[in-house]
Amino acid sequence: MSPRGEQSMVPEAEFESYYGRQILKTPTWKTPDVPLYLFLGGLAGASAVLAEGARLTGRPELQRVARLAAAGGAAAGTVALVHDLGRPERFLNMLRVFKPTSPLSVGSYVLAPFSGLAGLAAASQVSGRLPRLGRLAGLGAAALGPPLATYTAALVSDTAVPAWHEAHRELPFIFAGSGATARARAMKLLEEVGVAARASAAKSTRVTSTSCPTAVTTGTRQAATARTTASSLKAMRSSAVSRKPVRQSPRSSLATSLRSVAWSTPTEPALSARPALSSSAGTSPLRTTSRTSTSEA
């Protein structure tokens, strides 16, 4: 009914298409696969650029964290993209043909080499092997980082959604800025985690050394005692080897026994009686004693 009380013969216009269908189709993207891929792609691309800048300016700690973030973001983003496609072979089929006019085809050829180069650079950074190859891989990843972070803007704007299509000139800058912001936040988070881990390790070491000094001292003493015992046993073995018993023949053993009997104490009274007898003859007691001992021998 109109304000005047008249009935309208034409129904009011409604924003709908023919046959009850919606004007714009709902995107068939899976959630959170595609939003996660957009975020991780920007993070990985910006981290690769930051890692190369850290290498050129001599910041090894920042370079290490940025390389790990680039490799991890590329790997996780690839997994999210493949999960959105449903089957892994669909991603491989996109690499069969290269179409410069298709943002999806260009993005596939950017993502595939970037993932390999970022992973190689991170592996070389962590293991310390093949440093020259790692530097070249990091340089290649840094060159592909900006296209990886911004090609998704062209992919989103090349759709039938009017708001996205009208912003096709500004979206690449927005995506690049969001990637840089995500990279900065990831670097800050990783730095906080590293500082907390180092502080926890230092605290546990300090608590162990201060709370158990007796145990530490006892363990040190036991180790020193064990070393001393081992060295003593080694010395005893060497001395036993050097003092092996010498086998004697029966004749030499008999001669040794007779000699010991000849010089034993029973001969002392005879030696003490001789000087009194020999003093009358005018001989010295020492000479008599020597003669007596020679004759008894």
Tell me: pLDDT of 125 over 80: yes
Averaged pLDDT for residues 52-71: 90
Of residues 259 and 31, the one with the higher pLDDT is 31
Confidence check: pLDDT of 205 > 70: yes
Q: What is the predicted pLDDT for the residue at 276?
A: 43
- Predicted pLDDT at 210: 58
45 with 146: CB under 8 angstroms? yes
C-beta of residue 171 within 8 angstroms of C-beta of residue 153: yes
Average pLDDT, the chain: 75
For the beta carbon of residue 219, count every other beta carbon within 10 angstroms.
11
CA distance 211 to 220: 16
pLDDT classification of 219: cutoffs 50, 70, 90: low
**Residue 22 clears pLDDT 80, i.e. is over it:** no
52 or 21: which leads in pLDDT: 52
- Map out the domains of the chain with their CATH numbers: 27-200 (1.20.1630.10)
Predicted confidence at residue 189, as pLDDT, reads: 80
Cα 253 from chain centre? 73
d(CA 289, CA 293): 6
User: At 63, phi and psi to the nearest 5?
Assistant: -60, -40
Going by pLDDT thresholds of 50, 70 and 90, the confidence category of residue 291 is very low
Average pLDDT value for residue range 30-55 = 89
Give the pLDDT mean for 141-149: 92
Residue 284: its pLDDT value, please? Answer: 44
Higher-pLDDT residue of 67 and 208 is: 67
| pLDDT one-digit tens code per residue, 64-121 | 889 999 999 999 999 998 888 888 788 888 888 888 888 888 888 999 999 999 999 9
CA distance 9 to 213: 98
pLDDT on residue 133 = 92
pLDDT of 144 reads 93
Dump pLDDT digits (tens) for 260-277: 555 544 444 444 444 444
Tell me which residue of 108, 43, 51 sits closest to 76, measured CA to CA: 43
